[in-house]
């Protein structure tokens, strides 16, 4: 059965993380997404990361796990946007597209004559979504930003970490993720509005504001009570125990939010009632002592055992899992959150959907692999735009289109060499049997294909 956005065509001019995250979500919903790169400047922020088996091989630009994660379910073409012929082909694609997505700084689309006023002259009902760090207006509109900058400028970093310590980012591309997710949601709303009114739309989504929308409690508390939230580690600030506790083999998160939860926890860990801990205020005032009490119990058990005991007692708790644990978790394997995909450059690998929603009465279509550089040039230029063989060959000769980048930045070949350093610094831990573990958990052979 087709996805909920089947029949919607999206011209994807995004790069790096935030924009591709948003368009990948739309692709997961069934939209036809055409990702545009240029052989002069392929999407290196993602094509140079996490090469399969940490090996460059003959075509490293097609081996990036990060690029695959961001661009599964899309089709891909190359067009040189610094050449008038490349821009003209983009304009032809705009005429037959429902949505155009981009995440450049505001001046870029205007300089390319691809701003909203120009696009709606080509297609009056087109929807253009711009996902930028600081938005299309305001004194910071032309500033560039990646996830960590959006988190910092959005107010999240100042709240993250431990009291008196250096402010900390989230540890992942959280700013990019929320920007992309907000961009995808806004496109769905614009499509819904267009269905009712026939009107296109220009959508301005700022990553900084997307991050700030996720710290609404802190913003509200300042506006009403003059209180400025500061880093507090894993503490909730009002209830305790609300933290990660050491176990025999790892950690477990426990979140007690009321007196009933606390009483159930005491009964479960065989702790007698203590009047000092009978109220939320009392537990907060004696939070270090409460923590020691709870950790005395958790430290005698594995995280998995503690998780089962606490959940059976109705206490919110969960083991602290790393990426390997998550992929091997029996609950995740049963729900098939990760799905194997064949890709000619990296073999059969597990991938997850960016839109992990399951719709009743609608089967989930198998995911398609991310495109190799210029993989769908012929399909799109021949069959969608009607370009003949002679015109196609001319574009290839002039490097308007192609199937390999003109050059690779030095960082693309140096990054794999950093793995021993990352391991020495404790930033990663290598599991040399990872393919065997995953193959066993998912009941099929995974990994590189035989040549």
> Which of 298-307, 341-350, 382-391, 408-417 is predicted with the least confidence, judged by mean pLDDT?
408-417
Q: In this predicted structure, what is the pLDDT of residue 242?
A: 93
Eight-state DSSP code of residue 179:
H
The answer to whether 318 and 329 have CB atoms below 8 angstroms apart is no
Q: What is the pLDDT of residues 40-65, one digit of tens each?
A: 988 877 887 788 888 877 788 898 88
Burial class (CB in 10 A: 0-12, 13-18, 19+), 382: middle
Eight-state DSSP code of residue 110:
H
The CATH architecture that domain 242-322 belongs to is 2-Layer Sandwich (3.30)
Q: Which of 84, 85, 132 is nearest to 108 (CA)?
A: 132
Sheet containing 317-319, strands listed edge to edge, beginning at the edge strand earlier in sequence: 242-246, 251-255, 317-319
Distance CA 94, CA 115 (A): 12
Q: In this predicted structure, what is the pLDDT of residue 26?
A: 97
Q: Cα–chain-centroid distance for residue 290? A: 36
The answer to whether 399 and 40 have CB atoms below 8 angstroms apart is yes
Distance CA 148, CA 431 (A): 28
Q: Rounded mean pLDDT of 200-205?
A: 98
Q: In this predicted structure, what is the pLDDT of residue 47?
A: 82
N-terminal to C-terminal alpha carbon distance within the chain: 34
> Which of 140-149, 172-181, 216-225, 420-429 is predicted with the least confidence, judged by mean pLDDT?
420-429
Q: What is the pLDDT of residues 14-23, one digit of tens each?
A: 999 999 999 9
pLDDT of 451 above 70: no
pLDDT of 75 above 70: yes
Q: What is the pLDDT of residues 266-297, one digit of tens each?
A: 999 999 989 999 999 999 999 999 999 999 99
pLDDT confidence bin for 1, thresholds 50/70/90: very low
Q: Rounded mean pLDDT of 176-187?
A: 97
User: What residues does each domain of the chain span?
Assistant: 9-213+336-439, 242-322
pLDDT confidence bin for 449, thresholds 50/70/90: low
Q: Rounded mean pLDDT of 337-357?
A: 89
The answer to whether 362 and 4 have CB atoms below 8 angstroms apart is yes
Which of the pair, 63 or 306, is modelled with greater confidence? 306
The first and second tokens of residue 294, run together, are: 């709870």
Q: In this predicted structure, what is the pLDDT of residue 162?
A: 87
Distance CA 56, CA 53 (A): 9
Residues 378, 371, 42, 96, Cα dihedral to 10°: 50
The first and second tokens of residue 223, run together, are: 């506006």
Q: In this predicted structure, what is the pLDDT of residue 2?
A: 66
Write the secondary structure of 191-225 as one string of H (helix), E (strand) and C (coil). HHHHHHHCCCEEEEEEHHHHHHHHHHHHHHHHHHH
> Which of 55-59, 162-166, 297-301, 385-389 is predicted with the least confidence, judged by mean pLDDT?
55-59
Of the chain, the percentage scoring pLDDT greater than 70 comes to 98
Helix, strand, coil proportions of the chain in percent (round to 5)?
45, 15, 40
CATH 3.40.50.10540 describes domain 9-213+336-439: yes
pLDDT of 346 above 50: yes
Q: In this predicted structure, what is the pLDDT of residue 158?
A: 92
**For the chain, what is the mean pLDDT?**
92
Eight-state DSSP code of residue 372:
P
The answer to whether 418 and 308 have CB atoms below 8 angstroms apart is no
pLDDT confidence bin for 450, thresholds 50/70/90: low
């Amino acid at each position: 059965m087709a996805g909920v956005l089947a029949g919607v065509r999206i011209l994807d001019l995004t790069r790096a993380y935030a924009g591709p995250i948003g368009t990948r979500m739309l692709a997961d919903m069934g939209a036809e997404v055409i990702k545009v790169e240029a052989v002069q400047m392929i999407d290196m922020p993602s094509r140079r990361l996490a090469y399969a088996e940490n090996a460059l091989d003959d075509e490293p630009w097609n081996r990036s796990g990060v690029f695959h994660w961001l661009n599964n379910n899309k089709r891909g073409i190359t067009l040189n946007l610094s050449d008038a012929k490349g821009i003209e082909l983009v304009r032809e694609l705009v005429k037959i597209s429902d949505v155009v997505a981009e995440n450049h700084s505001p001046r870029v689309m205007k300089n390319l004559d691809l701003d909203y006023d120009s696009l709606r002259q080509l297609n009056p009902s087109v929807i253009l979504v711009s996902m930028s760090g600081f938005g299309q207006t305001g004194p910071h509109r032309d500033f560039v930003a990646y996830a960590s900058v959006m988190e910092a400028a959005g107010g999240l970093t100042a709240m993250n970490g431990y009291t008196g310590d250096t402010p900390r980012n989230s540890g992942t591309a959280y700013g990019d993720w929320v920007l992309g997710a907000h961009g995808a949601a806004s496109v769905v709303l614009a499509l819904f509005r267009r269905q009712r009114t026939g009107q296109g739309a220009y959508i301005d989504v700022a990553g900084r504001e997307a991050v700030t929308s996720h710290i609404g409690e802190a913003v509200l508390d300042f506006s009403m009570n003059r209180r400025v939230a500061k880093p507090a580690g894993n503490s909730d600030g009002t209830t305790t125990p609300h933290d990660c506790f050491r176990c025999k083999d790892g950690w477990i998160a426990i979140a007690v939010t009321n007196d009933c939860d606390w009483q159930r926890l005491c009964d479960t860990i065989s702790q007698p009632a203590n009047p000092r801990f009978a109220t939320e205020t009392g537990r907060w005032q004696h939070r270090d002592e409460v923590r020691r009490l709870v950790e005395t119990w958790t430290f005698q058990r594995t995280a998995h055992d503690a998780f089962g005991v606490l959940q059976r007692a109705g206490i919110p708790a969960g083991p602290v899992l790393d990426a390997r644990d998550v992929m091997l978790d029996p609950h995740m394997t049963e729900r098939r959150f990760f799905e194997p995909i064949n890709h000619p450059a990296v073999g059969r690998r597990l991938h997850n959907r960016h839109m992990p929603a399951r719709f009743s009465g609608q089967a989930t279509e198998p995911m398609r692999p991310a495109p190799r550089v210029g993989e769908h040039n012929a399909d799109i230029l021949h069959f969608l735009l009607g370009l003949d063989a002679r015109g196609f060959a001319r574009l290839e000769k002039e490097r308007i289109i192609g199937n390999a980048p003109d050059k690779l930045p030095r960082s693309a070949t140096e990054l794999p060499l950093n793995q021993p350093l990352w391991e020495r610094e404790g930033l990663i831990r290598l599991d040399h049997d990872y393919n065997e573990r995953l193959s066993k958990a998912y009941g099929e052979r995974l990994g590189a294909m035989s040549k």
